[in-house]
């Protein structure tokens, strides 16, 4: 079995009387895509928040590459190699693709003098940004303003922003949201190739993409993992068919 890069151990989180995360344990291994699926309100965002650092668990632990990160800030986790993309785009529309990616790297660097240096001339930012754009097949759009990109290309930029920080694990929160079949197929192809370099925890409602991409799938319902396995096992699981996929076409 490959090495675990990210490990969640017995995470609990409640909001008042609601148990949004109920004793969740799972891991992300080198070279894989592990998809987390579940119906609306299942607790996926709450779980992602506990991994990323914007939600503090009531109980339980999160480890990245063997190091406990449960009490760390979002920035500390990012510096240690936790990359993420967001459900809602945070790109600066009038700025070029390259500037957006470079600013993402710059935001994590602690040397304040860098803020006085023109971002476009900083090799420390330019090289990793360019590499990340190449990885997402977007280097030809490097100097195009984000506002001129298609929706699918914006999603590729968002993943490039996370990749430019050279993460050891990547959290992708609904990367296919709002994409048409073409954009979704393109991103699926890119992510399939990317997992060999960085393992991906994928939160996604597009089941076609999930079944194509995921090596393992965990199904979250009412804050608990009710099933875990590969695509075939998840499609066959009677609990999943009943509560999530619908009994007729799972
Ligand atoms: N800050 C909060 N305060 C109170 N309740 C919350 C809070 N955040 C989430 N919840 C509740 O926790 C439950 C899980 O929500 P969460 O957003 O994690 O689900 P989700 O699986 O991400 O849903 P979706 O697929 O719709 O994004 C929901 O019932 C939600 O209303």
Q: Region 52-66: what's the mean pLDDT?
A: 96
**If you measure from the C-alpha of residue 145 to the centroid of ligand 1, how many angstroms do you get, rounded to a whole number?**
34
What value of ipTM does the predicted structure carry? 0.96
> pTM for this structure?
0.91
Q: Region 175-199: what's the mean pLDDT?
A: 93
pLDDT digits (tens, 9 = 90+) for 132-151: 999 999 999 999 999 999 99
pLDDT digits (tens, 9 = 90+) for 221-247: 999 999 999 999 999 999 999 876 565
Name the residue with the closest Cα to ligand 1, atom 16: 43
Q: What strand order describes the sheet that includes 224-229?
A: 82-85, 169-173, 200-203, 33-37, 216-221, 224-229
Domain co-membership, 76 together with 184: yes
Instruction: Tell which one of 42, 171, 178, 218 to mutate to probe ligand 1, the residue whose CB is within 8 A of the most ligand atoms.
Output: 42
DSSP classification of residue 244: I
Predicted pLDDT at 3: 82
Domain with 57 in it: what CATH number? 3.40.50.300
Asked if residue 1 has pLDDT above 60, the reply is no
Domain co-membership, 173 together with 250: yes
As a whole number of angstroms, the distance between CA 220 and CA 105 comes to 32
Domain co-membership, 58 together with 174: yes
| Residue whose entry in the numeric block shows the structure tokens 């993309």 | 85
Domain co-membership, 69 together with 27: yes
Number of domains in the chain: 2
Q: Are 119 and 103 in contact (CB under 8 A)?
A: yes
Residue in 124, 203, 138 with CA at minimum distance from that of residue 166 = 124
Asked if residue 67 has pLDDT above 70, the reply is yes
Which of 166, 198, 222 is where one domain is finished? 166
**If you measure from the C-alpha of residue 3 to the centroid of ligand 1, how many angstroms do you get, rounded to a whole number?**
31
Name the residue with the closest Cα to ligand 1, atom 4: 15
Predicted pLDDT at 125: 87
pLDDT, greater one: 92 or 117: 92
Instruction: Tell which one of 12, 13, 43 to mutate to probe ligand 1, the residue whose CB is within 8 A of the most ligand atoms.
Output: 43
Domain co-membership, 74 together with 107: no
pLDDT tier, 117 (very low <50, low <70, confident <90, very high otherwise): low
Predicted pLDDT at 124: 80
**If you measure from the C-alpha of residue 17 to the centroid of ligand 1, how many angstroms do you get, rounded to a whole number?**
13
Predicted pLDDT at 7: 98
Domain co-membership, 122 together with 146: yes
Domain co-membership, 157 together with 175: no
Helices (H), 42-170: 44-52, 74-79, 97-108, 123-135, 151-163
Decide: helix, strand or coil at residue 40: coil
Which of 166, 201, 220 is where one domain is finished? 166
Domain co-membership, 185 together with 152: no
Domain co-membership, 182 together with 68: yes
Residues with Cβ within 8 Å of residue 101, at least 6 apart in sequence? 129, 132, 133, 157, 160, 161, 164
Angle of helix 151-163 relative to helix 181-194, nearest 10 degrees, comes to 20
Domain co-membership, 75 together with 104: no
pLDDT tier, 122 (very low <50, low <70, confident <90, very high otherwise): confident
Asked if residue 110 has pLDDT above 70, the reply is no
pLDDT tier, 250 (very low <50, low <70, confident <90, very high otherwise): very low
Q: Are 62 and 8 in contact (CB under 8 A)?
A: yes
Domain co-membership, 193 together with 231: yes
User: Does residue 40 come out as left (phi exceeding 0), alpha (psi in the -120 to 50 range) or beta?
Assistant: beta
> Other CB atoms closer than 10 Å to residue 21's CB: what's the count?
28
Which of 166, 189, 213 is where one domain is finished? 166
Name the residue with the closest Cα to ligand 1, atom 17: 45
Range of the domain at 70: 1-81+169-250
Residues touching ligand 1 (Cβ under 6 Å) are 15, 18, 20, 38, 40-46
- Looking at the CA of residue 223, tell me the nearest atom of ligand 1: 14
Domain co-membership, 161 together with 197: no
- Looking at the CA of residue 16, tell me the nearest atom of ligand 1: 4
- CB-based contacts of 219-222 (< 8 A; 24+ apart in sequence): 219/37, 219/38, 219/244, 220/24, 220/36, 220/37, 220/38, 220/42, 220/43, 220/44, 220/47, 221/38, 221/39, 221/42, 222/19, 222/22, 222/42, 222/43
């Amino acid at each position: 079995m490959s090495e675990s890069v990210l490990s969640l151990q017995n995470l609990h989180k409640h909001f008042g009387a609601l148990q949004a995360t109920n004793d969740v344990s799972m891991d992300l291994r080198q070279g894989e895509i592990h998809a987390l699926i579940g119906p609306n309100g299942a607790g996926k965002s709450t779980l992602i928040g506990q991994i990323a650092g914007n939600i503090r668990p009531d109980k339980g632990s999160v480890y990245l590459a063997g190091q406990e990160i449960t009490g760390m800030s979002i920035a500390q986790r990012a510096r240690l190699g936790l990359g993420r993309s967001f459900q809602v785009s945070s790109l600066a529309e009038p700025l070029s693709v390259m500037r957006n990616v470079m600013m993402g790297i710059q935001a994590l660097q602690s040397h304040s003098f860098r803020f006085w240096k023109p971002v476009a001339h900083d090799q420390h930012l330019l090289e990793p940004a360019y590499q990340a754009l190449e990885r997402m097949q977007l280097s030809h759009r490097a100097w195009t303003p984000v506002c001129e990109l298609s929706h699918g290309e914006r999603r590729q930029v968002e993943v490039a922003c996370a990749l430019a920080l050279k993460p050891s694990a990547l959290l992708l929160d609904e990367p296919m949201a709002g994409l048409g079949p073409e954009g979704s197929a393109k991103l699926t192809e890119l992510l399939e190739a990317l997992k060999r370099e960085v393992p991906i925890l994928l939160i996604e409602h597009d089941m076609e993409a999930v079944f194509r991409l995921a090596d393992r799938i965990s199904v979250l319902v009412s804050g608990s993992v009710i099933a875990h396995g590969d695509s075939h096992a998840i499609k066959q699981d009677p609990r999943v068919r009943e509560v999530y996929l619908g009994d007729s076409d799972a």
